[in-house]
């Protein structure tokens, strides 16, 4: 007995439908393949910032043009025309009367004597520095032995450094003792008094001659409890 397929079980009738579905799926797969973007985690990313199209603002500086003063009028003077054909003797003409024999002494102009220029400005950096008798250690000992701590500064607890300036003269004397920066309480005056009482120093030298030298000296006042 021959077996027959029913119309519902026969797939030949649905062949065109399956073909259309397969074609649609194929087109979708191709479209997705073109639209798919792969990202490399190690790739360099470039960020583009949108530029601001706002024009730059400038501050306008107005310069006032100065009017130039009028050019003064120069009067036109007549020009004297000299005839170059006339010979002129450049040598001075001296008329000497032979009958008058007069001896003319030699003229020797007297030149003014130039006074020597002496610069009394103290030198700050001489070739050879001035020196206290015996050196720096002797100067420190002299200051320590002669400076007396002022009672006012002692009672009020004032201590610090008094900065002095003085000039060592060419003969070694100390002059022009001034306080550059003081601390008060009588310490400034005491430091000036002791420096003025210093013995003569060995003077400074500049260009093989003794000169005035400016010298700075800090004097420290310290209280010990």
Does the predicted TM-score (pTM) go above 0.75? no
Beta bridge partners of 174: 168
Write down the pLDDT at residue 27.
Answer: 80
Q: Which range, 35-49, 99-113, 194-208, is most confident?
A: 194-208
Q: Which range, 64-68, 113-117, 151-155, is most confident?
A: 151-155
Write down the pLDDT at residue 30.
Answer: 72
Higher pLDDT, residue 171 or 40: 171
- Residue 169 scores a pLDDT above 90: yes
Tokens linked to 91 = 């040598």
Are 196 and 124 within 8 A, CB to CB?
Answer: no
10-19 residue pLDDT tens: 556 667 777 7
Write down the pLDDT at residue 90.
Answer: 45
Write down the pLDDT at residue 32.
Answer: 75
How many residues does this entry show for the chain? Answer: 225
Residue 213 burial (10 A CB sphere; 0-12, 13-18, 19+): buried
Cβ contacts of 13 within 8 Å, gap of 6 or more: 7
Return the residue matching tokens 């006042």.
221
Lowest mean pLDDT of 71-85, 128-142, 188-202, name the range. Answer: 71-85
Q: How many Cα atoms sit within 13 Å of 55 on the Cβ side? A: 3
Collapsed DSSP state (helix, strand, coil) of residue 162: strand
Q: Which CATH architecture has domain 136-221?
A: 2-Layer Sandwich (3.30)
Average pLDDT in the chain: 72
- Residue 159 scores a pLDDT above 60: yes
Write down the pLDDT at residue 22.
Answer: 79
Higher pLDDT, residue 30 or 88: 30
Q: What is the mean pLDDT of residues 178-197?
A: 95
Confidence band of 124 (pLDDT split at 50, 70, 90): very high
Tokens linked to 21 = 């579905």
- Residue 131 scores a pLDDT above 60: yes
Lowest mean pLDDT of 10-24, 34-48, 103-117, 124-138, name the range. Answer: 34-48
Domain ranges for the chain, please list them. Answer: 136-221
Higher pLDDT, residue 85 or 135: 135
Q: What is the mean pLDDT of residues 78-84?
A: 41
Give the number of other Cβ atoms within 10 Å of residue 199's Cβ: 13
């Amino acid at each position: 007995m021959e077996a027959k397929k029913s119309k519902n079980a026969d797939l030949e009738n649905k062949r065109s439908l399956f073909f259309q579905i397969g074609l649609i799926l194929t087109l979708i797969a191709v479209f997705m393949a073109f639209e798919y973007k792969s990202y490399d985690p190690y790739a360099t990313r470039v960020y583009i910032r949108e530029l601001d199209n706002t024009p730059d603002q400038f501050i306008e500086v107005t310069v006032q043009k100065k009017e130039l003063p009028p050019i003064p009028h120069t009067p036109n003077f007549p020009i004297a025309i000299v005839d170059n054909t006339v010979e002129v003797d450049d040598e001075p003409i001296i008329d000497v009367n032979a009958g008058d024999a007069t001896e003319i002494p030699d003229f020797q102009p007297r030149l003014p004597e130039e006074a020597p220029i002496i610069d009394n400005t103290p030198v700050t950096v001489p070739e050879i520095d001035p020196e206290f008798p015996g050196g720096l250690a002797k100067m420190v000992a002299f200051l320590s032995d002669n400076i007396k701590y002022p009672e006012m500064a002692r009672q009020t607890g004032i201590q610090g450094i008094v900065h002095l300036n003085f000039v060592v003269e060419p003969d070694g004397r100390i002059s022009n003792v001034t306080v550059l920066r003081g601390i008060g309480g009588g310490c400034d005056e005491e430091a000036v008094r002791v420096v003025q009482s210093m013995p003569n120093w060995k003077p400074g030298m500049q260009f093989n001659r003794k000169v005035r030298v400016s010298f700075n000296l800090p004097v420290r006042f310290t209280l010990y409890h």
